[in-house]
A and B are shown apart, each in its own frame.
Chain A
Amino acid sequence: MVEILTDQIFEDIVETIRESLLVLNSDLKVISVSRSFYDFFKVKPEETVGQLIYDLGNKQWDIPMLRELLETILPEKTSFDNYEVEHDFATIGKRTMLLNARQIEREVDEERIILLAIEDITERKKIEAGLGKAHEELKAVTTELKRAAQVKSEFLANMSHELRTPLNSINGFSEVLYDETFGPLNEKQKQYVNNVLTSGKHLLLLINQILDMAKVEAGKMKLALSSLPMKSLLNEISLLIENMVGKKKIKMSLEIAEDLPDIEADDLKVKEILYNLLSNAVKFTPEGGKIGMRVKKVDSEIEIVVWDTGIGIASENMDKIFEGFFRVDTPYSRLTEGTGLGLPLSKKMVELHGGKLLVESEGLNRGTSVRFTLPILSRMVV
Chain B
Amino acid sequence: MKKKALVVDDNAKNLMLEKDLMDVAGFEVFVAENASSAIAIAKKEKPDIIILDVRLPDMRGTEAARILRQDKETCDIPIVFVTASVMAEGREELKGITNSGFIGKPINTRTFAKEISRFIK
Q: Residues on A close to B: CB < 8 A? A: 153, 156-157, 160-162, 164-165, 167-173, 175-176, 179, 181-182, 200, 204, 211, 220
Contact = CB atoms under 8 A, between A and B. Distances in A.
A157 B105 contact: no
B17 A204 contact: no
Among A169, A170, A200, residue most surrounded by chain B Cβ atoms (within 10 Å): A169
Interface string B87-103: 11110000000000000
27 contacts: A156-B87, A157-B87, A160-B84, A161-B84, A161-B85, A164-B84, A164-B105, A164-B106, A165-B11, A165-B84, A168-B11, A168-B14, A168-B17, A168-B84, A168-B105, A168-B106, A169-B11, A169-B13, A169-B14, A171-B106, A171-B109, A172-B106, A176-B17, A176-B109, A179-B109, A181-B24, A220-B88
Nearest to A177: B109
Contact of A164 (B17, B24, B86, B109): B86
In order of increasing CB-CB distance, the 10 nearest A-B pairs are A164-B84, A168-B105, A168-B106, A169-B13, A172-B17, A161-B84, A175-B109, A171-B106, A164-B105, A165-B84
A157 B90 CA distance: 8
Contacts of A173: 13, 17
Contacts of A181: 24
A367 B14 CA distance: 45
Contact of B105 (A153, A165, A176, A200): A165
Contacts of A165: 11, 14, 84, 105
A160 B107 CA distance: 14
A29 to B, nearest CB: 76
B107 A172 contact: yes
Given A161-B55, A164-B106, A165-B11, A176 B89 contact: no
Contact of B106 (A156, A176, A204, A211): A204
Nearest to A173: B17
A172 B109 contact: yes
Contacts of A153: 89
Contacts of A156: 87
